[in-house]
Each structure stands twice: as structure tokens, then as C-alpha cells.
Structure 1
């Protein structure tokens, strides 16, 4: 199960942020307008499991007289960001206590009661999603409302979204729906992000339809799970250790009279 977020219909209302905080009892961030922006959260962190990004762009001038955007026109890009629930989840791989776990819905959650606050997952996440809560020390992030979906309900954010920008369901169905939406838009700048199971994290459990390059939204263009090749690395390390041990044994045997 997972999320498909269609940014082309996001209106920046922040209903998803509020619903997430209310249902999960996530602490308030406080009032911080970050300069002149309407974005009062800035990024995903331990107290912001959903983050609605506001991106103001000046459109380039066009020589096309039929272009609806005159030189200097502005546009807003809005996107509700969330933990990606990666298939190859580096955060899960490096957790020493088993606090991070994969659920029966193929999502990744944090069991806060056994988190020791080591922070290994913070540096392992290629998206910068996970963070430790100030004054608490443990990490917190989106659970995809594990308690709700276990009872057959939608996550709180998807339920609250008035435009159906956030859609929840089986990933295979969501990918088909996303592809159909992309073709319907028929806009050269539109693209899907995180939908491909062959990408560097094995596909995201939360993927997006974007209207510009991923970097514009603060997303890495080619994320890679740092632990994806961990089994091969351990295998090579083991072979190297055996080779060294054999060499040491041979050297000692060669010294015997």
C-alpha cells in the first residue's frame, strides 16, 4: 500500500498537515513563516510528517503570441511531501535495535518505544526525511497511519485532502492511475517521480506527479539507498577476511622446521 500525490491539483491548503498532526498527536511546529513564504514548516522532520512546499516561479518569456503566460508571469508549485517508504529502505537496514520495521502493508514505521536515538537512520535516509525530536532524542516520521489502515481506513492526510491530490491504495493500482493522469495532462514538463521499481531505492511507497524537475521541489534527482549493496559488501569482506586468514596460516606453517 502507498501514496500517489498529484501535485497538479494541490492547492496548498495544508489540510493534510493538520490532519496528520491531529490524528498522530504530532507536536506543533510553532509560527514561522520563513521570510515571505506561506510555507511555515520548511521541511519534513520529527514534528512535520507531512510538509506542503510552496515554490514561487517566474515564468520565462515566450515568443509564441498564443502563449497564455506573458513575460514575467508568476506561478506557484505546491507539493505535499512525505516519507517515501522505500522498497530498499536504508534507514531500516542500519537500525541496530529493530525500532524501524516493515509492516504487512510494505510500509516502514518507527517503533518509538525501542528507539535508542542513535541517529544512524537519519544519515542513511537519501531524502532527509527522518529526524530526532528535540527534547526527546528519538526519531519520528510518517507511519502511513498504520493504525488506521489496519482497520480498513484511509490515512488521515488522504482523507482530509479536498482535491484528491493525495491518493492512497495498492501501489500497482496507483501507478496505473498516475500514468493515466500523466497522459491526460499532456504537459512536457510533467513527470512521475519515485514510481519506478528499478530506481535506486527500488521504488517509493509514496510517489509523485511533478510539474518541474525534482530539484525544484527539493527532491534528489537520482536517490540511491546507501545500503542497497550491503549483502554483496559483507560477502566480499568475508572473502577478504578468509583470504587473509589463509595467508596468515600458510605463513606460520611455512616457518615450522
Structure 2
């Protein structure tokens, strides 16, 4: 890890500290606001959950590259999700959400192309037709929780028989049980509350616009934990230090993509300049809407949201709450400047009052 830049901590809205006189950073330029000059473009993640197959390759690659300790293989009661959520020892988390909801009228040719070719087209992989790609299971392959059809008097299972109360057959032969799979990660916010409250400079903004924790500087105060609107940052019980995704800062410096994106077999996790990813994501949402998926939406891509837009944003197929994400995240420290102004005004009024009382008593 490199030392944090002198002006690396955020103070609410982007500050102009570290810039030349008269210069103003772009509204969506966190690296420039932190004092980095002539820096590379802002880098981040676009996670397209519509093509996530729940393989957890990203989780494994993240742990291996960053030497993150194993955090348990216990049955959690949450489908095939053994990690439950992001933590100090889980920087990538693949959620498995089971729903009794049919996916509906998707048309073929809405995939990403060969190996997630990102521009789609009729030649692409049909991510909706293959059983299990989005968690929809066929009658011949009932999904988790489905019960097998009851055999008839001859001991044979009748074709097309219902698969039980958990996964009844849809009219077209598919079951109504679907899985929503999504690989979650630190959002690397434009306005990061964790940076605002860190007293040691352990958290700093990199030249790529990402947010990194220097664990050797962290004093374990824990202020950053409640300051994160997404509940991403966590402390390890052994020493109390905070840990989270660094977007593989060491790999970025060498011109390499993060380990999780490198390992993703379907290109559900896409890495690149944030501006390019937002354009690609908007195109993908339009493609899914045209294919009959009206619930497709972007989460965290809006620069005007409560955190100034995320450096890691997502295409979701349902409401954010379904994935355990806050519907309207707001950086907790956004009101700090006005709070300090009100406190200063109150202190000034109190000083004037005390002075008036003192002068009145003297008279």
C-alpha cells in the first residue's frame, strides 16, 4: 500500500483542495477532488446480475489474491449462500435469492455474446432460455426446494406433473421458482462517508477514484463501520481493524483487472472506466426492456443519488430491497458542513448572550 495523499480524505461534497488556483474538479471526479492531478480515468465495476450463475468464482478469486482468511462453510439456511453477506473476511459476496415469481416473456438473443461479449445480439447466449441461468428451473430439473412429482400406480412419474407446492409448473413448462443471483462488493462511493470519519487517514482515495483501507494504519476505532450507507465495512474480531474490497489496487497499478472480474466466467462482473460502464449498463437495460424484462434497472449508477453515484453499480432484476440493498442510500456525513455552520452560529449567539449578561451586571 502507498501512503494516503495529503488531500485524500473526503469532506462531504468534492473539495477543491490540492487543485491549482481556479481549477474545479468534475462533479464525478473523486480522484481530482482528493488532490490527484493528471490521474487515470475513474475505474470501477458494473455487475450484470442477469448473467450471474452463482458459481462463486469471484469469491474464491478475491480470497486467493488478497489472502483473505476462510470465514466458515456453515449451512446458513439461505439457499446455497454460506457466507451470508459482506464482512471483513468476505469482500465479494454472491447472494442467492429464491423467489416464487415467473420471469416472463423474454425473447431469444438477449445475451452478452460468446463468453459474455458485452454487446449482445442475436448470436449471443440466450441467458433466459437456459434452465438455471437466472434460477428458473425446468420441469425435468426441479430446483432447490422443489418436490418430485408423485409416481402413478405403475410407479412411473407422469410427464408434466406438478413439482409440488414450492415450485408449481408455469404454463410453458417452466417452474415459477427462480433464483436471483448477485455478486455484491464495496461500492467505492463518490462521496464516501468512511473517508470523512477516519481519524488516522487509514482510508484514502486512490488515483483511480477508488477507496482503500491501509490496514497497517487503521487503529480499530470503528468509526467507518456506521458511516457506510451500505454496511460494507467490517472489523475483524482478532484485532478490530477494518477491512473491505480495495478493487485490487495492487493489480490496477500494474494494468491488470481485479481478480474477481478476471475470474468471472460469464462477464457478469465487468471492469473498466466508470463512464464507459455506465453507457454499457444503460444499453443493457434497454436491451432487457425490449426483450420483455420490465423489472430490469440500474442501481448505483446515478451521479445525483445520495452518495454521488457508485464506482461499483449493478443491474438488478427486482427492487434493491430484494437483494438486501438500501433503496435510497445517503452518505451519513453529507450534512456535516451545515451542522458545523449551525453549531458555529449557536456558539456565536451564546457568546454574545454571555457578553451581554456580563456587561449588564457591570452596569
TM-score by length of 1: 0.94
Larger helix fraction of residues: 1
- The yes-or-no answer on 1:220 pairing with 2:262 is no
Superposed CA deviations along residues 178-220 of structure 1, whole A, max 9, x for unmatched, are 0000001112111000000110111111000000000000001
| Runs ≥4 residues deviating over 6 A | none
CA distance in 2, matches of 1:10, 1:251: 69
Aligned to 1:5: 47
Structure 1 residue matching 2:332: 3-state secondary structure: coil
Deviation (angstroms), 1:2: 0.7
Superposed CA deviations along residues 104-158 of structure 1, whole A, max 9, x for unmatched, are 1111111101111111111111111111112121010000000101111101100
Superposed CA deviations along residues 67-122 of structure 1, whole A, max 9, x for unmatched, are 86669621111000000111111111111111111111111111101111111111
Aligned to 1:93: 196
Structure 1 residue matching 2:83: 3-state secondary structure: coil
Q: Unaligned stretches of 5+ in structure 2? A: 1-42, 105-169
Aligned to 2:66: 24
Q: Unaligned stretches of 5+ in structure 1? A: none
Aligned to 1:234: 340
Deviation (angstroms), 1:251: 1.6
TM-score by length of 2: 0.67
**Counterparts of 1:170-185 in structure 2 under 5 Å?**
170-185=273-288
CA distance in 1, matches of 2:172, 2:231: 35
Deviation (angstroms), 1:33: 2.6
- The yes-or-no answer on 1:149 pairing with 2:255 is no
Structure 1 residues 254 and 56 mapped into 2: Cα distance closer, same or farther (>3 Å)?
same
Are the aligned partners of 1:55 and 1:78 in contact in 2 as well (CA < 8 Å)? Answer: yes
Are the aligned partners of 1:61 and 1:71 in contact in 2 as well (CA < 8 Å)? Answer: no
CA distance in 1, matches of 2:324, 2:270: 21
Are the aligned partners of 1:61 and 1:70 in contact in 2 as well (CA < 8 Å)? Answer: no
CA distance in 2, matches of 1:3, 1:91: 19
Query: Which 10-residue stretch deviates more, 159-168 or 239-248?
Result: 239-248
- Counterpart among 98, 104, 121 of residue 207 in structure 2: 104
Deviation (angstroms), 1:61: 11
**Counterparts of 1:35-114 in structure 2 under 5 Å?**
35=77, 37-59=79-101, 73-114=176-217
